[in-house]
Structure 1
Amino acid sequence: MEKTLDFPDLLRLIDERSTAFRAAVASAPSLDVQVPTCPEWTLLDLVHHLGEGRHAWAATVAAGPTATAKSAAEDAPAAPREREALLAWLAESTRELVDALREAGPDRGCWTWWGASQSPKTCGAVARHQLQQIAVHTYDAQVTVGAPQPLPAEVALDGVEEFLSTCVATTSAWPHKPTAFDFHATEGRSWRLTVDAAGARVTPAAETPDEPGVSVHGTANELVLFVYDRIPADTLRLDGDATLFDLLREWEPEE
């Protein structure tokens, strides 16, 4: 697998993307505007989701490796509606998360929801996934205010493999004909998701010379936004059977 971002870089980028998220929120004419990429949410809903989630994950990390479920941040302050106070609350949620991760270090165990994936149950893996969550939601906020920006290159290049190894990889059997999905970034990296009776697993595409069932080509930013359903397939180049992506999205592996 490709070398992932170092832990200090993950913490730096979590803070950087969180700052960009707050800047988008600060520029919005209203917090009640609908988020185009999350149409069931207003911008205020998105802010609450991001802040409450980071408070909760900070509590989970701080609870240590013996925690059996994601800790509820019961002592976290309620999210305010007034803009200046809301932005301060958001900044505090980021500080809590980064401080908890820094205190724990990358190798300490941590409860995670991702079960039998290829991502470890460590604070380093939590930081890696949190960065992608914050980065994609920052894009959501920027789209909402009409100023979308691509994910930073170092974030996007780590994001494809992180999504596949955390959110898709599993030991549950693929219920269809075995196949493979290739993801090719124009920056020069490629990943293969193989699905069969043994489940789903990610490898560098170059290690598996067999033809995939479908391959998708784009910038790393476009690939991340595609796998998170932020942009449609027709904005990228697809070769092969594009309907396989429908099967992949509909698949609900057993826990």
Structure 2
Amino acid sequence: MPPLAHERYCDEIVLLTETLRAAISGADLEANVPTCPDWTLRELAVHLGGAQRWAGEIVRTRATEELGEEQVPDFTPDGDDPAVLDAWLAEGAAGTAEALRQAGPAVSAWSWYERDRSAGFWARRMALETVVHLADAALTAKVPYTMAPELAADTIDEWLDIVAGAQAEGDPEALELRGGGRSIHLHATDVPDAEWLIEFGEDGFTWRHAHGKATVALRGPLTDLMLVFNRRLAPDSDRVEVLGDAELLDFWLARSSFG
């Protein structure tokens, strides 16, 4: 499953942010976010909107090093008015998407991911960041959450790439994801061929899209697999099924939560 088209990611930044704005409209913005317990719903929205604006400014300026928050125009909304927050989210998503569209995927721009420092990286990252934080917002606001299969699958792909990159760069937790003879199989029950096989070796792990017998298997609807993999749904939820060594899945989840 290759990454989606650059233009699709740009579109999704705006569309998913619109869905998030609708989810939090009228909700208690001071409510605690169960999946991000250090944040209120307002803080979650400001985090996401700020991240989008930060990425957009990195691409717009063709930055060659990390930008500080103070270098990003309107990094935070002015005041606590929900209407101001809503407009700020809309403007930020639109501006970020436009900066990414104008740049195109191949333009160089600093990123924290050493394997890919391009506008294309940021388009994908911001779209999929919004996929996950939309789940946080929907859970907090107690509204339904659904995700297009191609976006849910791409979120799993991207996260596996990020964890592999962190392992290669020496992240202490990611370095523990090793040990020959163990494996994890993710199997979506509602989307054909949406399967992942993660295999542990002595020097680290590898992953591929494949069906195979594994030490532990996680089965369920694709969106729920994605939520478990991003630690937004507990693996013991009745929405998914864990077969085999559940401790290995817990081991993975605990050590792929860096940053």
Question: Which position in structure 1 is the counterpart of 2:160?
Answer: 164
Paired letter, 1:105: G
Distance in 2 of aligned mates of 1:73 and 1:10? 26
**1:173-212 pair list within 5 angstroms:** 173-174=175-176, 176-178=178-180, 179-186=182-189, 187-188=191-192, 189-206=194-211, 211-212=213-214
Structure 1 consecutive aligned stretches of length 4 or more whose deviation exceeds 6 Å: none
- Find the partner of 2:230 among 217, 228, 231: 228
2-side partners of 1:253 and 1:228: how far apart? 8
**Equivalent residue for 1:16?**
15
Q: Is the 8 A contact 2:215 2:245 kept in 1?
A: yes
* Cα distance between partner residues in 2 of 1:133 and 1:14: 9
AA in 2 matched with 1:190: E
Distance 2:179 2:203 in 1: 12
- Equivalent in 117, 128, 133 of residue 137 of structure 1: 133
Residue type matched to 1:183 in 2? L
Amino acid at match of 1:68: E
TM-score by length of 2: 0.85
Contact (CA 8 Å) 1:182, 1:216: kept in 2 or not? yes
Distance 1:121 1:213, change over 3 A: farther
2:92 is matched by which residue type in structure 1?
S
The letter for the 2-side match of 1:141 is: A
Show CA shifts across 1:23-62 (max 9, x none).
112131x211112222221111111111111111111122
Letter in 2 for 1:53: A
On the 8 A contact 1:15/1:94 being kept in 2, the answer is yes
**Which string of whole-angstrom CA distances, capped at 9 and with x for unpartnered residues, describes residues 12-33 of structure 1?**
11111000011112131x2111
Q: Does 1:239 align with 2:238?
A: no
Q: Cα 1:212–1:73, aligned 2, differ >3 Å: closer, same or farther?
A: farther
Superposition TM-score, scaled by structure 1 size? 0.86
Would you say 1:68 and 2:65 are equivalent positions? yes
Query: Which residue in 2 is equivalent to 1:38?
Result: 36
RMSD, aligned α-carbons? 2.3
* Change in 2 beyond 3 A, CA 1:75/1:69: closer
The CA distance in 1 between the partners of 2:226 and 2:178, in whole Å, is 25
* Residue pair 1:13, 1:131 contacting (<8 A) in 2 also: yes
Write the distance in 1 (CA, Å) between the matches of 2:255 and 2:19: 33
Q: Percent identity?
A: 27
Equivalent pair of 1:58/1:100 in contact (CA under 8 Å): yes
The corresponding residue for 2:255 is 251
2:186 is matched by which residue type in structure 1? F
Q: CA deviation at 1:193?
A: 2.1
Deviation at 1:73, TM superposition (A): 5.2
C-alpha distance 37-242 of structure 1, shift in aligned 2 (>3 A): same
Given that 2:23 and 2:137 are in contact with CA atoms closer than 8 Å, whether structure 1 keeps it comes out as: yes
SS at match of 2:25: helix
Q: Which moved more, 1:241-250 or 1:88-97?
A: 241-250
Question: Displacement of 1:222 after TM fit?
Answer: 0.6
Shift in Å, 1:230: 0.8
Structure 2: state its 5+ residue gaps: none
- Cα deviation 1:187-233 (Å, max 9, x = unaligned): 02111222323323321124xx5x32222111210111111111111
CA distance in 2, matches of 1:141, 1:253: 19
SS in structure 2 of the partner of residue 49 of structure 1: helix
State how far apart, in whole Å, the 1-side matches of 2:155 and 2:255 are: 21
CA offsets per residue over residues 151-181 of structure 1, 9 Å max, x none? 2223112221121112345325546522222
**3-state SS, counterpart of residue 205 of structure 1:** coil
Moved more, 75-84 or 228-237: 75-84
* Contact persistence 1:59–1:72 (CA under 8 A): no
Q: Is the 8 A contact 2:60 2:103 kept in 1?
A: yes
